[in-house]
Amino acid sequence: MSGSEGSKVLEGQLALVTGASQGIGAATARALAAAGAHVIITGRNAKLLEEVEEQIHNAGGNATIAPLDLGEPDAIARLATAIANRWDALDIMILSAAYLPQLGPVTQIEPRFFNQAITTNVLATQALIAAFDPMLKRSRNARIVGLNSSLATAPRAYWGAYAASKAAFEALLECHAQEVARISEIRVAIVDPGATRTAMRARAYPGEDPQTVKAPEVVADRIVALVQEDFATCHRERVEAA
C-alpha cells in the first residue's frame, strides 16, 4: 500500500509525469493520484500507459494519458498546448523518462544510441521546462522533480554515454533552480532513486536478483512526500531502501 493512500493531500493539483508507462514513473503516477492529484501520464507505449491509467482509475484516482515520443519534433510543444487549453496551472512536474544507451568504452560509443540519450535525457528536459514554464509559474508552489543517477557526479567506466547525458540533465536542473528561485514559487529537486527494481536496471545488471533491490513504490512514496515539503533552490537527495 502506498503511504499516500487514503490521504488526498494533493487534491486539486495537476501533475505531469514523464516516463510513466512503467517503473518509477508509473509508481509515482499512481502514488500522486492516490494522494489526490490529477496526473497526466506520458510515455511512448500507449498500451502500458492505458494499464497505468486503469490502475489509477480503479483505485479511485484521476489520470489522463498522453502518449508521445519526447524525441519527436514539436511533440512537447503540442503536449504543452493541449494541457494549457484544459488547465490553467501545472503544480508538479516529474521528469522520470530516461534512455540508457548500450554500455561500453568511450572509444566505442555508438553515435545513434548516444544521440538518443542526449535527446531524451537532455534536449527533452530543456524543452519540457521551457514549454511548461508559464503553467508552472501560475501554480502557487510548483515543484519540479528530476530523477537522476549517481553517475552524473561519480561516473564509472563503460557508462560514459549515459553518465554524460545525466550530468547535463543535472546541470540544466541546477541552473534552472537558481534562475527561478527569486522570481517564482517554483522549486526544483534532483532525486537519485538509488538501486531500484526497474526494467532499466535489469538491462544494466542482468545477473542481479531483482528482489535484492527496493521496489519503485519506495521511491514514489518519497517523491509524493517531497513535493509537499518546503525546500529552497535546488534540493538533492538519494532514496535509500525502506
Joined grid coordinates for residue 215: 521496489
Give the residue from 139, 240, 230, 242 showing the smallest Cα distance to 191. 240
Quick check: is 162 catalytic? yes
Would you say how long the chain is, in residues?
242
Give the residue from 127, 126, 141 showing the smallest Cα distance to 90. 141
Q: What gap in Å lies between CA 221 and CA 225, rounded to an integer?
A: 6
Residue 154 phi, psi (nearest 5): -135, 70
User: Which entry of 99, 158, 162, 205 is annotated as an active-site residue?
Assistant: 162
Q: What gap in Å lies between CA 63 and CA 49, rounded to an integer?
A: 10
Name the residues annotated as catalytic. Answer: 162
